[in-house]
Copies of this chain bind each other. A is one copy, B any other.
Amino acid sequence: MLEINKIAFIGSGNVATHMAQAFFKAGIHIIGFYGRNQQSTQELALKYHAEWGAISDIKYTVLDLLIISVPDHAIEEVLKELTTCPILITHTSGSLSMEVLQIKGDRFGVCYPLQTFSKEKEVDFSKIPMMLEATREKDLEALMNLAKKISPKVYKLNSPQRKKIHIAAVFAANFSNYLYHIAEDLLLKNDIPFEVIQPLIEETSAKIKSLSPYEAQTGPAHRNDQETIDAHIKDLEDIPEYQEIYKLLSQRIKESRK
């Protein structure tokens, strides 16, 4: 059976940083970090006893897997610099189809960790779902076995499904975080510390482990409490950009009541 033991990364951003750490801890041999950002590739390489350099320095013969972990818009440039790739190559993007890698060989796939990464904050990979895809069945099995070394939550998904997950993730994570930002802003403007609302945020996210979000919905719009909704809208008059969001989401929640 095909086994993946030696890997390398193109890229040194948040995803590469956290993934490399998890693979390293799991005993996977990280051969190198390649890309244009010399400082961060070097930093990662020194941390994991790997080499670093430009994309042209990659030695395919010693690798089982090459992981391209760069922003979506940069992947085209990276692929131009790659020679035809004789080994398994994957990207880590939620949005890009697997086929963008097709031009560089016939063994390609995706290894998408569904999580929000910040350089400053440690993550526990054992809680991160890994979304895998590959052209060849044997490569997919090998990726599954590799991913299982860092997470018990491993899923085979095709590109359209992955794209839907990415959109769902934007709603559930990126947009939710922006709503936290609005809440913080409203509190700080009224001399109230943000911490007062943190337990509520924690409970709201914990609730949906035992109830569906539909069952867990509360609040003035869900109760169709128009008096409170109107009072809040009036209160937000000075901040029309928040007022607009309040109106739209309240309207949608009211409509979604069964």
A residues in contact (CB < 8 Å) with B: 71-73, 95, 114-118, 120-121, 123, 127-129, 131, 153, 155, 157, 160-161, 163-184, 186-187, 189-192, 194, 196-223, 225, 227-228, 231-232, 235-236, 241-242, 244-246, 248-249, 252-253, 255-256
Contact = CB atoms under 8 A, between A and B. Distances in A.
A140 to B, nearest CB: 18
A158 B93 CA distance: 48
A121 B210 contact: yes
Contact of A186 (B167, B175, B184, B253): B167
B223 A192 contact: no
A178 to B, nearest CB: 5
A75 B175 CA distance: 35
Given A174-B221, A204-B177, A252-B241, A184 B169 contact: no
A256 B163 CA distance: 25
Contact of A153 (B115, B199, B255): B199
Contact of A72 (B177, B217, B225): B225
Q: How many copies does the complex hold?
A: 2
Contacts of A256: 178, 181
Which residue of A73, A200, A231, A255 has the most chain B CB atoms within 10 A of its CB atom?
A200
A34 to B, nearest CB: 22
A114 B170 CA distance: 27
A78 to B, nearest CB: 15
A128 to B, nearest CB: 6
15 contacts: A71-B223, A95-B232, A121-B207, A155-B196, A164-B189, A164-B235, A168-B183, A170-B246, A171-B246, A172-B200, A173-B200, A173-B203, A175-B245, A204-B205, A245-B252
Given A163-B231, A164-B192, 6 more contacts: A95-B220, A161-B190, A170-B220, A174-B218, A177-B204, A180-B208
Contacts of A205: 176, 180, 201-202, 204-205
B246 A248 contact: no
A244 B216 CA distance: 23
Which residue of A121, A173, A194, A252 has the most chain B CB atoms within 10 A of its CB atom?
A173
B178 A164 contact: no
A208 B128 contact: no
B171 A179 contact: yes
